[in-house]
Amino acid sequence: MTHLKYLLSRQSELTTVIINVGTDNRGDYAVLDETVFHRAGGGQKSDQGWINDKPVHDVRLDQTSGETRHYMDTTEGLINEQVAHMVLDQKTRALHSAYHSGGHLIALIIEAKLDDCRVTGGHHWPGEARLELVFDIKHPDDFASLTTQLQLQVDKAIAAQLRVFYHYEEATQLRTVSIGDYPDFSCGGTHILTTGELIGLTITAIKIRKGKVRLSYRIG
């Protein structure tokens, strides 16, 4: 099983060992003893970067084997037990982390402000970022007012530069994240250091879609 260094570390480079090379329906992949690459999941896109100068465009957990597979156009030249050097694309990591943290910040603000509202899901991809909400809808026309109120709270949290902390329980393999004084939440994704990095986080719409309330957001 690949050791996921990104759960507690923000390092962007790592020298490790290849433990498997193969091909599946997603393409050629390499499995390594350790990785700094976040794998897709939890509503967040995977990291990108390079392994021995070969571009890595996707990282996935294979549910059958339990392998963390790093996908690339070709694994030619990579073999088992070979030493490999991986380098993270830090620009992509920063973007994905901001969208992930931004979504969680909005969710925390919503649940703190609205007693009857629950956030049931999040999709934190740039260009498609949204939260799914469940609450008693009495006046859908009030969504514009609610959007304004929530945006004010988001702007305050950004200005406060709230710290983001990780905690990992080795025995249970449970990782929790906290933003400022808001309640902890379980999360395996990557995050920013402070909410000050979320300048430009904007709630763009709250709408009813297919019987569900959807909040959309963007950064920048």
Give per-residue pLDDT as tens, 154-186: 999 999 999 999 998 888 889 999 999 999 999
Residue 47 is which amino acid? D
Compute the distance between CA of residue 170 and CA of residue 187 in angstroms, rounded to an integer.
14
Q: Is 108 helix (H, G, I), strand (E, B) or coil?
A: helix
> What is the CATH number that goes with domain 3-88?
2.40.30.130
In the chain, domain spans: 3-88, 93-219
pTM attached to this predicted model: 0.93
Fold adopted by 93-219: Threonyl-tRNA Synthetase; Chain A, domain 2 (3.30.980)
Compute the distance between CA of residue 83 and CA of residue 79 in angstroms, rounded to an integer.
9
Please say whether the beta carbons of 6 and 81 come within 8 A.
Answer: no
pLDDT, residue 138, reads: 60
Compute the distance between CA of residue 84 and CA of residue 125 in angstroms, rounded to an integer.
29
Compute the distance between CA of residue 34 and CA of residue 2 in angstroms, rounded to an integer.
5
Copy the structure tokens of residue 105.
């910040």
**Mean pLDDT of residues grouped by 10 in the chain (220 residues)?**
92 98 98 98 97 98 97 97 98 98 98 90 97 78 88 98 92 92 96 98 91 92
